[in-house]
Structure 1
Amino acid sequence: MTFQVEVCIDNLESLHYAMAGGADRIELCSSLALGGLTPSFGFMQQASRVSKIPVYAMIRPRQGDFLYSEEEIESMLLDIDAAAQAGLQGVVFGTLTAMGDIDMTHAKRLAERAHQHNLGITFHRAIDQCRDFAQAIELIAELGCERILTSGLAPNAEQGIAVLKQMVELANGRFAIMAGAGVTPDNAQTIATTTGVTQLHLSGKTTRASGMKLIAEQAKMGNQDLDDFIVPVTATATIAQVVTALKSLS
């Protein structure tokens, strides 16, 4: 059995670390602290130039829910165009109705635009906020997605093992179920062997100190609780440990 490890990143430094750790694919985001938002066009272009592995861009215009207005959908369509123009391999999106079903009207428009550009599609963790995941899987199957990223409707993938196993059975080989949220070197094997998933998703986040000599702590750039002189980055060792753990199952 062949496993794939996808790493979500929100800076170019982490792209190098993820590749060095043996990642198979990148989910390119901005603002991972907010769950991942659409990366800038410049970030997409530079990632395309640098990456030796497929890069999928998150298409999520704001934080919060997945109930999008027409204006937001139009913005997402343009971002899909940008991902294609930047030379990326795929996109990641999800849309819901107010009642917690897949918004197929919007999702089909996004999927059709991606298909026009020959971009792969991952349907993201919006499914974890659906009222009926079995119905959602059948609807997502109509979109031509390659995979669904999910924690099994739980706070993390380890807690969602029972549902993840059901999802794999429901997908029935039509597309992959990719387990994400809280995946670590310590639980990757357990998640894979007990659910049947062959793709796992993680950030492998650590931090590094800023290279600034002047530490101007009096002026915060955003949330007052965040340290502007600590930079979140992907830990190469964490990614490598997950990759090694899964290879031992192959």
Structure 2
Amino acid sequence: MTVKIEHIEVCIDNIESLHYAQLGGATRIELCSSLALGGLTPSIGLMKQAAKISSIPVYAMIRPRQGDFLFSSQDIEIMLEDIHAAKQADLQGVVVGVLNAQSQVDSDVLCSLINEARGLGITFHRAIDQCTAPMAALDSIMSAGCERVLTSGLQPNALDGTGMLAKMVNYCGENLSIMAGAGVTAGNVTDIIERSGVQEIHLSGKSTRPSKMLQYTNQIHMGSSDVDDFSIPVTSAERIAAVIRSLEQ
């Protein structure tokens, strides 16, 4: 039996992965930098190149730094500029998330970001998974005019969060799409959808490839010594395709 789904969104942080995501069957791209940090704002160059070569909608992550979602006035100015850059690059949407010190949606800042993004699609990201009152957060997100919210159902992964995801789907109805993300694989995607009723899923399909350099020295590291600088993180087209096959079986 085929499980119906509206969108399979793949998050990527390099242009090579865009090709693989499309090859695997993605229907929308979340464009980031630094997926290892949860996803930060991509460069203007990456935005422009993605818009140039993508045959599916591309939404740019608007997150100026790692860490929490309580942003300073200067952070917000950066986010507004980055949204403008996404519009200038002819992307289809942006992905945002802002909270106040009480872990509630900062409606004033969110509305400012959405006003800057007028004409673009808007996804509210997993900042909602840090909210103390998720249903009130959904009210704020719907009132602001977002299209969807990306969430794991307030759990470390979407499979564990299916109970809350189902509550969110029922609560929002057709006013806001609930997109399940975090830990989605070919092995659990059907369970997540059947238990929660979501119509959109989000995943990275992450893998790595070895460096194509013919000679190099690896005595030093560009960052953490735990990171292999000669193992390149990329999206696996096969892992994305495997998720789609699971939905069709």
Category of TM-score, reference length = shorter chain: over 0.9
Q: Distance in 2 between matches of 1:146 and 1:244?
A: 27
Is 1:150 the counterpart of 2:151? The answer is: yes
Is 1:190 the counterpart of 2:195? The answer is: no
Q: Distance in 2 between matches of 1:175 and 1:78?
A: 26
Q: Distance in 1 between matches of 2:248 and 2:7?
A: 10
Q: Which residue of 1 aligns with 2:61?
A: 58
Give the letter for the 2:26 counterpart. A
Deviation at 1:169, TM superposition (A): 0.7
Is 1:221 the counterpart of 2:222? The answer is: yes
Is 1:101 the counterpart of 2:133? The answer is: no
* 1:78-157 matched pairs, under 5 angstroms: 78-115=81-118, 118-157=119-158
Q: Distance in 2 between matches of 1:112 and 1:193?
A: 35
Q: Distance in 1 between matches of 2:34 and 2:121?
A: 22
Deviation at 1:244, TM superposition (A): 2.3
**Among 66, 73, 77, which residue is 1:74 paired with?**
77
* SS class of match (2:67): coil
Q: Distance in 2 between matches of 1:42 and 1:247?
A: 36
- Residues 81-133 of structure 1 deviation map (CA, whole Å, 9 limit, x = unaligned): 00000010000010001111001111110011111xx1000000000000000
Root mean square deviation of aligned Cα: 0.8
More deviation, 34-43/167-176: 167-176
* Contact persistence 1:3–1:246 (CA under 8 A): no
Q: Distance in 2 between matches of 1:41 and 1:127?
A: 26
Q: Distance in 1 between matches of 2:116 and 2:194?
A: 36
* SS class of match (2:201): strand
More deviation, 100-109/209-218: 209-218
Give the letter for the 2:82 counterpart. D
* Contact persistence 1:137–1:171 (CA under 8 A): yes
Deviation at 1:246, TM superposition (A): 2.4
TM-score by length of 1: 0.97
- Residues 148-191 of structure 1 deviation map (CA, whole Å, 9 limit, x = unaligned): 00000000000101100101011111121000000000000000
- Residues 193-235 of structure 1 deviation map (CA, whole Å, 9 limit, x = unaligned): 1100010000000000000112311121111110000000000
Q: Which residue of 2 aligns with 1:39?
A: 42
Q: Distance in 2 between matches of 1:145 and 1:104?
A: 12
* SS class of match (1:164): helix
Q: Distance in 1 between matches of 2:191 and 2:6?
A: 13
Aligned length: 246
Q: Which residue of 1 aligns with 2:162?
A: 161
Q: Which residue of 2 aligns with 1:171?
A: 172
Unpaired runs of 5+ residues, structure 1, are none
The runs of at least 4 consecutive aligned structure 1 residues that moved more than 6 Å come to none
Q: Distance in 1 between matches of 2:137 and 2:5?
A: 26
Q: Which residue of 1 aligns with 2:206?
A: 205
* SS class of match (2:144): coil
